[in-house]
Chains A and B, each alone.
Chain A
Amino acid sequence: MGFPLLSLIIFLPTAGVVAVLFMRDAKTIKWTALAVTLVDFVLCLLLLLGFDTSTHEMQFAEERNWIPALGIKYAVAVDGISILFVFLTALLGWICVLASWNAIETMVKAFMVSLLAMQTLMLGVFSALDLFLFYVFWEAMLVPMYAIIGIWGGERRVYAAFKFFLYTLAGSVLFLIGIIVLYFQGGRTFDILALMNADLAFVTQAWLFFAFLIAFAVKVPMVPVHTWLPDAHVEAPTAGSIILAGVLLKMGTYGFLRFSLPMLPEASVYFSTFMLILSAIAIVYGGLLALAQDDLKKLVAYSSISHMGFVTLGIFALNSRGVTGGILQMLNHGITTGALFLFVGLMYERTHSRSIADYGGLMKVAPFCSIFLGLFTLSSMALPGLNSFVGELLILSGAFAANPLLAGISILGAVLAAAYLLSMFRRVALGSARVEEQYDFWDLDRRELASILPLAVLVIWIGLYPKPFLSIIQTSADHLLTQVHDKEGAE
């Protein structure tokens, strides 16, 4: 076991929490938080550089006994599935600090503490290799997220925070029961890798699949347990929305990839059509809802439901293109939707309005802002040459192989996305300049540009040359599929 780089990445923000707790001055606190998240990001780049794409094995593994009496370990590692989300979390981490720089005026210390705590927990979720450890990270996240929505949110923040908390908690307690059942069925271990080899009866698998499904479906969110999402997104402050859309939603789909598929392969195959149907419903229904929104944040929120539907569609196509595309699309969605929420936030800071009707002609007033907004809008609707196109193409070609009918229906979602996103962009950026008359709307400043540029670079990079990202994913995704199909074939 070498240098514990991964643990350092996970717990550096915790150290930041402790440091910030002893500070008084709001400015020092902000700079400390920014420094901590930036260092964390740099460490993450080191992690990416040292990552070996030729193997599906876990890398940067660390393991220590934690609660030996129950076989619980502190075990973390990354593979091709998780490393991109560790990277995404670290990237959005400092962007969130920047996004909250002026937007958060009250209780700055508590906000930065919540933000940094969130970062530790999110990184922990993506790297945990012990189910108990995973659950601790997963569940503990509720506390800072509840605070972020409930304290610094909009008008109906308390309602949204409660809804978020209770939905997620209700989902995850059944997951907890599932974990414990799995512990006993799988030979008294919480070791995720060992549990992947456990040979479970089909009935057990089916029950566990549903226990897990409830927890993950709430997080993704899949229709019909999606109703917390628009409330939480709309009320949360910008940083909260970015975290929610960028990282939290990915945890649901990550859960499918890490637990449901490899541990419950037969049930996953058996229920895959059911999952595809749910995904297609989410894609079309989310798109239709987005089409009807006047609130910018709600529009992006509902589009998330639709886009995450594509991810689950890809995953449960259960073939190489589908899964690879699904994982890439998780990354894409984090980048693009994170950026869109960033834009909604910075526009709101200037006009204090989220209603599309209040905007218009932004292109004349703030050309930079509009161009970038246009870029991310196009990325979100999967324009060829931008990141989401690669992901959605892979997903749809995978889905066609699995179920042509549902894939065909899902394409409707892509059409809808073009409709609501282009219409949004037209009404906000084009036309006569209505913003200019009412508000003092200044173009992007350096702080905002700094947080947007890396996202824009990634959008174009993945769109034009996705190979480095795909090669990270490919090996692990293929291994995952052998885990699913081997077991099924062996029966």
Chain B
Amino acid sequence: MNQAQLLQSVLVSLPEIVVITGACVLLILSLFVRPERGYILDLAAIAVVLVAAALTWALADQNLLVYSGMFASDRYSAFFKAIFYISTVLTLLLSRRYVEIERVQRGEYNVLLLFALSGMMIMASANDLLSIYVGLELMALCTYVLTGLLRREVRSNEAALKYVILGAVSTGVFLYGVSLIYGLTGTTELDALATAVTASQRDPGLLLAVVFIVAGLVFKVGAVPFHMWVPDVYEGAPTPITAFMSVGPKAAGFAVILRVVLNPLLAATDVWIVVAVIAVFTMALGSFVALVQDNIKRLLAYSSIAHSGFVLLGIVAGGPDGAASVMLYLLIYTFMNIGIFAAVIAMRSEVGRGEAIDDFSGLSRSHPALALSMLLFLFALAGIPPTAGFFAKFYVLVALIEGGHVTISVIAVLLSVVAAYFYIRIVMVIYMRDPAGKFELAFTPGLKLALAIAVVGTIVIGLLPAWFLNLAQMSVLGG
């Protein structure tokens, strides 16, 4: 790599550099900011993300492969980075009051979030199994720590421990797959890899390696059979972190899966059958188990598993429409899922409140505005029009049927009826039960802003999806 190439590489990866440098500066800054002025740290973190977003915007139309082909900068990665930025900013807006109530160190909190963000960004841009691994680990290590931030709470500790151990196993599996690939083909670059796999389709070693890699990635999106960590981690982690994990890292996982699996060469093989089976089982498990939950964080964990299954269907569909449907789904999911978590966080005016579904009884009488926005998010998650959640599902189904998978799509919609049941059950608790008692909401300006952004996102994409659809279709790899 000569001087000019190096310079170009640095330029193209400026957003990542900004985020990492910003995180380091923030770490130092947090030592000098007094606790009561903690909002400065939030604002600084948001500013860092916004600068990175601006840089990404400026770089979006470049289609470059830098760092010796390990790092790609294209519209595809820019689209995913936009999802990461939105989820990070919304998480930062959500966290303030929660962090105070739970007495978490704010400096570390924001810094870890930014590092996790940079890890996700690297994952979206990675074009080599090794750079994927670097991003994956950077993100994973930060989320492990964030999960365990509630030091005094046993559930949080347990969740973090579980997450670390299972996460380490999955990373190990992933790495083993990578080493097999390298041993068999002599490369870790995705394009070369796809050529090798397509050339020798039935090589059992290669097949094993691909299975290992897919298993490692599927762990991150919480799909069956690697979903066991999701409910415990989602329940134990600080709620804003749960919100973050359910959208950001999950989208990052899908970014990698899409890049690996939807590589035009690899797509010619029969990988889709494996993905289809995983997708259907994931949806079924998430939908059915969520039916019996009475803790809202656990319920949303299973709901997020079910949604992962639905997104995987977009990958099954394949082709540009399939990829675009995955991307659009993840964008929409970011708004509606962070929205519902924002409402859960708003309920947490004291330690322990707002986790049992019964805490929401009669919310429509005591806090009608919050109840109405929850109604919106729940129906969006259930996929009822005219919310964005409907269009997300609709487009995945269009892609699926275009690919000729009518049976799978029938199974998918029937399972989404099952899922609708537990969403409208929460609506029932909110609207059709009497209030359990008076309580205050933990509203902050940031939380209100996050809620408003989520509401607007869910409604606007639902009513006017054309622009977002075009954006997703333009950002598809090779599109």
Binding site for B on A (CB under 8 A): 65-70, 107, 110, 132, 135-136, 139-140, 142-143, 146-147, 150-151, 157-158, 161-162, 165-166, 169-170, 173-174, 176-177, 180-181, 183-184
Contact = CB atoms under 8 A, between A and B. Distances in A.
Contact of B466 (A67, A177, A183): A67
Given A173-B413, A173-B414, A151 B431 contact: yes
Contacts of A165: 420, 424
25 contacts: A66-B466, A68-B466, A110-B364, A136-B385, A136-B386, A136-B390, A140-B385, A140-B386, A142-B384, A143-B379, A146-B424, A150-B428, A158-B432, A161-B432, A169-B417, A170-B417, A173-B416, A174-B413, A176-B413, A177-B409, A180-B398, A180-B409, A181-B401, A181-B406, A183-B398
B397 interface: yes
B397 A177 contact: yes
Interface in B465-479: 465-466, 469-470, 473
Contacts of B390: 136, 139
B394 interface: yes
Nearest to A113: B372
A105 B290 CA distance: 35
B398 A70 contact: yes
Interface in B366-397: 368, 375, 379, 384-386, 390, 394-395, 397
Contacts of A184: 401-402
Contacts of A140: 384-386
A151 B413 contact: no
Interface string B330-369: 0000000000000000000000000000000000110010
B469 A67 contact: yes
B176 to A, nearest CB: 40
Interface of B: 364-365, 368, 375, 379, 384-386, 390, 394-395, 397-398, 401-402, 406, 409-410, 413-414, 416-417, 420-421, 424-425, 427-428, 431-432, 465-466, 469-470, 473
B401 A70 contact: no
B452 to A, nearest CB: 15
B428 A176 contact: no
Contacts of A181: 401, 406
A166 B469 contact: no
B424 A162 contact: yes
Given A66-B466, A136-B386, A176-B397, 20 more contacts: A69-B473, A110-B364, A110-B368, A132-B394, A135-B385, A139-B384, A139-B390, A140-B386, A147-B431, A150-B428, A157-B432, A158-B428, A158-B432, A162-B425, A166-B417, A166-B420, A166-B421, A170-B417, A173-B413, A181-B401
Contacts of A110: 364, 368
Contacts of A139: 384-385, 390
A109 to B, nearest CB: 8
B428 A177 contact: no
A177 B413 contact: yes
B115 to A, nearest CB: 37
Contacts of A66: 466
Contacts of A180: 394, 397-398, 401, 409
A188 B339 CA distance: 34
A173 B466 contact: no
A149 to B, nearest CB: 10
B409 to A, nearest CB: 6
A169 B420 contact: yes
A158 B398 CA distance: 34
Nearest to A181: B401
A50 B266 CA distance: 60
A69 B406 contact: no
Contacts of A67: 465-466, 469
Nearest to B469: A69
In the complex, the 10 A-B pairs of residues with the closest C-beta atoms, listed nearest first: A173-B413, A136-B385, A67-B466, A180-B401, A170-B417, A140-B385, A150-B432, A139-B385, A69-B469, A169-B417
A130 B176 CA distance: 52
A176 B394 CA distance: 8
A70 B364 CA distance: 38
A162 B425 CA distance: 8
A150 B401 contact: no
A176 B412 CA distance: 12
A161 B417 contact: no
B428 A161 contact: yes
B379 A70 contact: no
Nearest to A183: B398
B364 A107 contact: yes
A143 B398 contact: no
A132 B465 CA distance: 13
A69 to B, nearest CB: 5
Contacts of B427: 146
Contacts of A132: 394
A170 B414 contact: yes
Best-surrounded residue of A68, A135, A177, A184 (most CB of chain B within 10 A): A177
Nearest to B404: A184
A174 B364 contact: no
Contacts of B394: 132, 176, 180
A21 B466 CA distance: 28
Nearest to A182: B401
Contacts of A151: 431-432
Nearest to B415: A173
Nearest to B376: A143
Contacts of B420: 165-166, 169
A432 to B, nearest CB: 41
A235 to B, nearest CB: 11
B186 to A, nearest CB: 42
Contacts of A166: 417, 420-421
Contact of B431 (A68, A150, A174, A177): A150
A76 to B, nearest CB: 15
A69 B397 contact: no
B13 to A, nearest CB: 32
Nearest to B409: A177
A146 B466 CA distance: 29
Nearest to A139: B385
Nearest to B391: A67
Nearest to A21: B372
A70 B365 CA distance: 41
Contacts of A183: 398, 401
Nearest to A165: B424
A65 B464 CA distance: 11
Contacts of A68: 466
B179 to A, nearest CB: 42
A151 B365 CA distance: 12
B417 A173 contact: yes
A189 to B, nearest CB: 13
Contacts of A69: 466, 469-470, 473
Nearest to B473: A69
A162 B428 CA distance: 9
Contacts of B402: 184
A177 B406 contact: yes
Contacts of B401: 177, 180-181, 183-184
B410 A177 contact: yes
A174 B410 contact: yes
Contacts of A169: 417, 420
A378 to B, nearest CB: 38
B103 to A, nearest CB: 38
B266 to A, nearest CB: 25
Contacts of B414: 170, 173
Contacts of B421: 162, 166
Question: Among the interface residues B364, B402, B406, B432, which one has the most CB atoms of the partner chain A within 10 A?
Answer: B432
Contacts of B417: 166, 169-170, 173
B264 to A, nearest CB: 21
